[in-house]
């Protein structure tokens, strides 16, 4: 099977020359992704109400490596700001952004649709409804948003899976021939339905409105490393499953019949990838609220710049997605200082025009 998957792009059309295979991940792009993460890490920790020298911050971050000791020149108070306040928030942004971008790229491959996204497919809305139910119905009130490490992620996961199942079934209900518009409209319909349920719960539990809405607008505020430890296992599982099966997305792009002929089980692969991507989305939503458009902006930009193979798109989306959200959080923290702009508002301002661009070019991408 492995050899068949490696040869899959060349079997899309009889007589396709060997050189037409999608290029693999180039070391230069991988280094660029790692560099983007490091830049976002240093910038996110350096910038804030108390500005810190980037060089000193980088030195202090090196001190976190066992066996490394560098004089950063920071005071004890500044070291506490770096390690206990800002660094957990930046790391959380890297994890959440990487998950959302990776899930977006995965959904685009599974549905063969460049507009597929955790937000537009209703997955985030499903997870949001489930978590809203946990909060408004009392389970989340005693421990607030981060006090239930099992209940909230589990509820978000169930809601995410339910939403993507509803979107997929609604999108294919008209037959095997489904268009981009059909799938997107199905996601809009499912999102509207779930939002109605969310509105009903908020109306019946008005005392929870402020808490829920602060979560719905998206935020990366975190009290220490608790949220990072909560998201990290989901991040590792999602990244491992999706990246190990990234070649199968290239095979699925040639069609189910060809994929079956190459020894792949299309439906089983789709279900596995959908579950993995929904797991990552659920973890991201449960920790940060609803942050839209990351799953469109990052994978599509990677596709345009680095190549169309999912061997390239998925690992780079993981890296650049984390860097993108961490840097976006810097904008959210500093644009209206000392107040903070909800990070979901910033990503929406960036993603709205980008979505229009992708919508206008989607026919060429699909063709």
What are the angstrom distances between the C-alpha of 161 and each of 61, 129, 276? 38, 12, 10
In this prediction, residues 336-343 reach a mean pLDDT of 82
Q: How confident is the model at residue 53 (pLDDT cuts 50, 70, 90)?
A: very high
Are the C-beta atoms of residues 288 and 99 closer than 8 Å to each other? no
**Cis amide linkage into residue 338, ω under 30° from 0:** yes
Note the CATH architecture for domain 32-59+70-352: Orthogonal Bundle (1.10)
In this prediction, residues 209-228 reach a mean pLDDT of 78
- Which residue reads 């990838």 in tokens? 273
Helix intervals (H) in the chain: 2-7, 27-46, 54-62, 76-80, 87-110, 123-136, 151-172, 180-204, 209-216, 226-244, 246-252, 256-261, 266-288, 294-306, 310-334, 343-366
Give the per-residue pLDDT at 213: 76
Name the most confidently modeled range: 178-192, 198-212, 233-247: 233-247
Checking if the pLDDT of 147 tops 50, the result is no
Give the per-residue pLDDT at 362: 60
In this prediction, residues 106-124 reach a mean pLDDT of 83
Integer-rounded Cα radius of gyration of the chain: 21
For the residues of 9-30, what is the DSSP string, one character each?
A: GGGSSTT--GGGSPP---HHHH
Tell which wins on pLDDT, 296 or 358. 296
Between CA 309 and CA 75 the distance in angstroms is 47
Q: How far apart are the first and last CA of the chain?
A: 28
| CA triple 211-94-253, angle to 5 deg | 105
Tell which wins on pLDDT, 182 or 75. 75
Write out pLDDT tens, residues 317-331: 999 999 999 999 999
The length of the chain in residues reads 367
In this prediction, residues 250-276 reach a mean pLDDT of 82
pTM of the model: 0.83
Domain ranges for the chain, please list them: 32-59+70-352
Checking if the pLDDT of 352 tops 60, the result is yes
The DSSP output letter for 208 is: G
Checking if the pLDDT of 69 tops 70, the result is yes
In this prediction, residues 46-55 reach a mean pLDDT of 88
């Amino acid at each position: 099977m492995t050899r068949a998957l490696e040869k899959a792009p060349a079997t899309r059309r009889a007589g396709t020359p060997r050189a037409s295979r999608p290029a693999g991940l180039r070391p230069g792009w991988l280094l660029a992704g790692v560099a983007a993460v490091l830049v976002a890490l240093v910038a996110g920790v350096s910038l804030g109400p108390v500005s810190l020298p980037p060089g000193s911050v980088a030195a202090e971050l090196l001190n976190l490596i066992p066996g490394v000791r560098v004089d950063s020149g920071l005071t004890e108070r500044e070291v506490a700001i770096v390690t206990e306040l800002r660094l957990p928030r930046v790391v959380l942004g890297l994890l959440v952004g990487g998950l959302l971008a990776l899930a977006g790229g995965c959904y685009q491959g599974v549905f063969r649709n460049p507009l597929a996204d955790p937000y537009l497919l209703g997955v985030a809305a499903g997870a949001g409804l489930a978590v809203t139910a946990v909060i408004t119905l009392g389970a989340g009130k005693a421990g607030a948003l981060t006090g239930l490490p099992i209940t909230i992620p589990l509820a978000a996961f169930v809601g995410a899976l339910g939403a993507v199942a509803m979107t997929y079934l609604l999108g294919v209900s008209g037959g095997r021939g489904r268009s981009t518009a059909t799938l997107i409209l199905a996601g809009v319909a499912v999102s509207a339905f779930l939002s109605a349920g969310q509105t009903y719960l908020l109306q019946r539990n008005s005392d929870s409105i402020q808490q829920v809405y602060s979560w719905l607008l998206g935020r990366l505020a975190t009290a220490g490393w608790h949220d990072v430890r909560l998201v990290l296992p989901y991040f590792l599982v999602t990244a491992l499953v999706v990246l190990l099966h990234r070649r199968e997305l290239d095979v699925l792009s040639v069609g189910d019949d060809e994929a079956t002929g190459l020894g792949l089980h299309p439906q089983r692969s789709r279900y596995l990838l959908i579950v993995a991507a929904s797991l990552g989305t659920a973890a991201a939503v449960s920790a940060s609220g609803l942050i839209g458009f990351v799953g469109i902006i990052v994978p599509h930009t990677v596709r345009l710049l680095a190549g169309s193979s999912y061997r390239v798109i998925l690992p780079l989306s993981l890296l650049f997605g984390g860097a993108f959200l961490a840097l976006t959080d810097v904008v959210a923290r500093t644009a209206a200082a000392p107040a903070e702009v909800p990070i979901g508002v910033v990503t929406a301002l960036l993603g709205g025009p980008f979505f229009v661009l992708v919508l206008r070019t989607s026919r060429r991408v699909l063709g």
